[in-house]
Structure formats: C-alpha cells, structure tokens
Structure 1
Amino acid sequence: MYLTLLNGTGFVFNVDDYMELRSKYRIMGAPVGTANTKGWSPNQSTLPVELTKYETQLVLDENIAMLVDKSQDLRAKPTAEKLEEFKADFESRLLGQKETLKDEKLRETERYMEKILTGKRKKLLKQGKHEMAEALTAEDVLKEMSENFKFDRQNALVEVPCEHLKDHSAQIVSRALVDTNSLKYRIFKDLWKRGKFVTSGDAFGADFLVYPGDPLIYHASHIIIVHEKPVIKPLELVAKVRLSVIVNKSCVFAYEKENEGIHYQTVAWCNPSK
C-alpha cells in the first residue's frame, strides 16, 4: 500500500486501501474530495482521504504502508508521446459516452414505439402522405433515430479520477513527518496500540478524540488532553472538564512520569446537588 505525500502528510487515493486502513487498522483520516460541482461539503466528501501527520507516521512505523513523493514526475512537462496517448485515451472515453447515450436513446425509443409510430403516421397523413404512413415501421423509426443522433461534446461528462490514470514514477519518502519521540505522538501511538479509534481533537479543544468503535457508528467517548508534565493548573482543569461535560464526553489527561511511562487520568465533573 502506498500513501501519496501532499502538503506534508499522507493522502489515500485508492478506495480499497482506504477501507483496509479504516476497517483493519482503525486509521480514520478525513475525506477531502468532492463530487459536488457547487463546492465542497463535509457531508458529501469523497476520496482522496487526508491522514493526519500522526496517522501517517504511525502507518509508516507499523510497516502498514509506504509514503511516496510523486511531485517530481507529475510536475514534469509531458512528452509528445504522452500527450498523444492522453488525447487518444480522452477521445476513447468520449466515444464510450457517445455510444452509451445512443444505445439508451434507442432503447427509450423502443419502449415508446407504439406512441411514436402513431404520432409519426398522423403527421404523415396530415401531409397527405398516405402510402408513407402505411409503410412506416418500427425499423424505420430506429434507423432514423440512429442516423440523426448527435452527441454534444460540450455536455459530455469529464471524469475526475481519484487515482492517476497512468503509471508514473515516485520517490520513497524515508524521513519522519513528526518527532517520533514527542509525547503527543507516543500517546497517539499508545492509544492506537490499545485498540482505540483515535482522531484529531482540534474541533473539541483537545489533542485527540477516542471512540468506542468506528466513528461512522459511534460518537467519541473521551477527549484526550496531552500534558508534558504531570501538573495541571486549576483553571485549566476546570475549563477542560467543563468543556467535556458540554460535549458529553469524558475528560482524560495524558502525561508521562519519569521512569513510569505514560499515565491517563480521567476527571469527571461532580455535582453535589444530584
């Protein structure tokens, strides 16, 4: 499996790769493409999928995928041979649309053949062409439809493929995208190794969100706040816990104690009046 390096992080362009990352490895990412011509909408987002830097680094560390940089090849000026190949491929797709539309028009004509024949015969009779009206058959109608069919290229559908249509070279990226020794990355990796579904918590004023299952089915159950030191200021403690209550999630402070590793401290808001 290959991730494409864009804007400093990994992108997934293949739907099978994305489904494997999501279902097998609990790597969520965020679809950032759109099929809506009026603009991007988070509810209508499609491939490609953008992974966070932490997700990308984790996938690399666990040898789940490799990161490649395609910018050098994709930015190179195409050769005359490649241009001709692209034009031929483009024309082939337009021809396929033309034939498909023509076949559908003929099938639609066959479905309403009786009404069409009746209408054409009446028109011929009004023009005084009685013999032509009597001789008119379904084959004549289909032949006329086929000969007069026109395909307006301006209304053709232009494909916007996720994956590049042609093979091209890429360079393997071996450098780390984040500091793998940083506490935040190690906590993200630790939560993932515990079998959790972990995503970015920026929208909730946290570092991470933890889900009991796939985020398509479940809401996040915990917000994770990363602290470099096991010391929390009272005002920050109150603010973060109140925030977790508002969004109906448990608040977890993650920190590291010397020689003891990573610790998780869950804090709940207590209402003595209840």
Structure 2
Amino acid sequence: MKAYLKQKNNFGLQNFAKMYLTLLNGTGFVFNVDDYMELRSKHRIMGAPVGTANTKGWSPNQSTLPVELSIFETQLLLEENIAKLVDKSQDLKAKLTAEKQKEHKADFETRLLGQEEALKSEKLRETKRYMDKILAGKRNKLLKQGKKEIAEALTEDDVLKKMSENFKFDRQNALVEVPCEHLKDHSAQIVPGPIVNVSSLKYRIFKDLWKRGKYVTSGDAFGADFLVYPGDPLIYHASHIVIIHESPIIKPLEMVAKVRLSVIVNKSCVFAYENENDGEIHYQTVTWYNPSK
C-alpha cells in the first residue's frame, strides 16, 4: 500500500506522513509492529491490541496486533500529520480476477511446500540427533528376525534415506498463515476530513493532556473520561482519573462520589472544564482529606 501511495504523487500525495492507519469500524487500526512501537514510544499513543496468538480464542493477557486506536487517538494523529487514515475496503472487496486467483493459489501452494520442507528438515535433524539409539533399536529388531547380515550392514545413511522416502506431510495439519499485514501492495483511498467533532470538549481535553506530555487512555473502566499515566502504562499505574464537566460548577454529591471513587482506586481525581470567559481548559485536582488521620 505504501508503494502504491508513493506512485500517486501527481495527485498531491507526496507530502503525506509515512505511517498509514487502516480504517475499520470508524477508527484507525495499526497492523505494522514498527509503526505501533513508534506510536507508543515516540508519540505516547497506546491503543488497544485486539489480535490474539491463542488458538483457543482471544485473551486480554495474550493480545497482539492489530492495535485498535480510539477515535480521539486516530484524530490526533491525523491533525499532527503523524499518520494518514486509509480506506482499503474498495480494493479488498473487489472480486478477484482469474489471474489474481491463480496468483493467490500459487502463493499459497508455495507456503505449504515451505512448511513441508521445514518439517522434513526438522525430522531429519531429530533423527541425526538420536541416531545412536535409532540404529541400536533397528539392529536389535533385525537380529530378532534372524537378519544378522542386514543388521550389521545398516548405516546412518540408510536410516536417513528410509526416513526421507517415507516422510509424509498431511496438509490437513498444515499451519494456515494469517499475516498481520497484507502480503501484497494494493490500492487504498485517503480518508479526508475529521472522524470526530474536533470542537467537542472531550476531544479538546484529550488533545490538551497529550500536548502536555501525558499518557492518556480511556477511563471507562474507572467511571471516568480519561486515565492519565506518568509514563508508559506497561510500567506505571495511572496516577489520575479525569472527569469532564461542561462548567466549573460541580454538585457536592457528585464531587464526593467521584473523589471517593478515586480514593478506592488509589488515584487523584481531576475535574476538567472550559472557562466560560476565556474558553480555556482548566483542571482542578481534588483529594480526599481525613482529619482523623
């Protein structure tokens, strides 16, 4: 896909960012591990791995690529020109031509033959590793059958040749490769325009926190709008929960409920709101005070 976009310079695509997000379910997905590591380490974009390497089903503890970005993360990357969002649906839904079908079948056959050769080589390697025991076993068996001359003449090359001739690869047990990225370059359309309301208070607060150098993720699991981390969430726990308010006026019972929640999860509670006078985003941190301690 990247090669395709580079060929489209005459359409004004030459200044596009080098990273491309795939549009799925209204947001961006990352299929390239190098792109994801760059987003995470350089741009503090976490996303959520939604793939799995577990054949028994998806598990949050064994999740892998692709990575689903939130709509806010996707929009931020577009605005900062870190990445571009592309729609591959038209090309991927197109009916394959006879030539393409033949090409895909040949490619699939090549991968199966590769598995067969790899398995055969591994079988031969293991046979060589235990050759002494295998030879002893086969010779003892021949001696019991009264074939002393054949037993004495049996060599390592005979064993390896026999194993190679009798080797069978059952394609029903072949591993079907499910590549993360598409194996072939294909066309894609740049998705123009924002995917969220960039003037919404929630998006502007997300962007403001990110520009302040924070690691920001969804706070749904804690009854908040966002979670803020002092560093990569793989290493640090969230330090703050962020509650968004349309105004600086907060009802006492709501404040008590949110602050008590933050205490339970061992985090500071931050109320974020827009100042009506200057339109600026403000933050108010509230902590629980127990005079008995």
- Is 1:159 the counterpart of 2:171 in the alignment? no
What's the CA shift string for 1:144-179, capped at 9, x where partnerless? Answer: 001000111111111111111111111100121111
Q: Which residue is 1:124 aligned to?
A: 142
How far apart in 1 are the matches of 2:22 and 2:136?
60
- Is 1:273 the counterpart of 2:289 in the alignment? no
Cα shift at 1:260: 5.2
Cα shift at 1:56: 0.3
Q: Which residue is 1:52 aligned to?
A: 70
Q: Which residue is 2:233 aligned to?
A: 215
2:161 to 143, 147, 158: 143
TM value normalised by structure 1: 0.98
Q: Which residue is 1:2 aligned to?
A: 20
How far apart in 2 are the matches of 1:96 and 1:103?
11
Q: Mean Cα displacement is larger for which, 151-160 or 212-221?
A: 151-160
Q: Mean Cα displacement is larger for which, 56-65 or 160-169?
A: 160-169
- Is 1:251 the counterpart of 2:277 in the alignment? no
Amino acid at match of 1:183: L
How far apart in 2 are the matches of 1:243 and 1:206?
9
How far apart in 1 are the matches of 2:176 and 2:153?
42
Query: Percent of pairs identical after alignment?
Result: 84
Amino acid at match of 2:251: K
Question: What is the SS of the residue equivalent to 2:181?
Answer: coil
What's the CA shift string for 1:28-48, capped at 9, x where partnerless? Answer: 000000111111110000000
Correspondence list, 1:66-85, <5 A:
66-85=84-103
How far apart in 2 are the matches of 1:198 and 1:255?
17
How many residues in Structure 1 have an aligned counterpart in Structure 2?
274
Structure 1 stretches of 4+ with a deviation exceeding 3 A read none
1:263 to 256, 279, 282: 282
1:98 to 96, 105, 116: 116
How far apart in 1 are the matches of 2:279 and 2:97?
59
Cα shift at 1:228: 1.1
How far apart in 2 are the matches of 1:46 and 1:29?
11
How far apart in 2 are the matches of 1:65 and 1:133?
69
Q: Which residue is 1:31 aligned to?
A: 49
Question: What is the SS of the residue equivalent to 2:242?
Answer: strand
How far apart in 1 are the matches of 2:118 and 2:44?
40
Gaps in structure 1 of 5+ consecutive residues: none
TM value normalised by structure 2: 0.92
How far apart in 2 are the matches of 1:137 and 1:27?
61
Question: What is the SS of the residue equivalent to 2:273?
Answer: strand
Amino acid at match of 1:206: A
How far apart in 2 are the matches of 1:169 and 1:136?
59
Amino acid at match of 2:21: L
Amino acid at match of 2:170: D
Question: What is the SS of the residue equivalent to 1:209?
Answer: strand
Correspondence list, 1:5-16, <5 A:
5-16=23-34
Gaps in structure 2 of 5+ consecutive residues: 1-18
Q: Mean Cα displacement is larger for which, 127-136 or 64-73?
A: 127-136
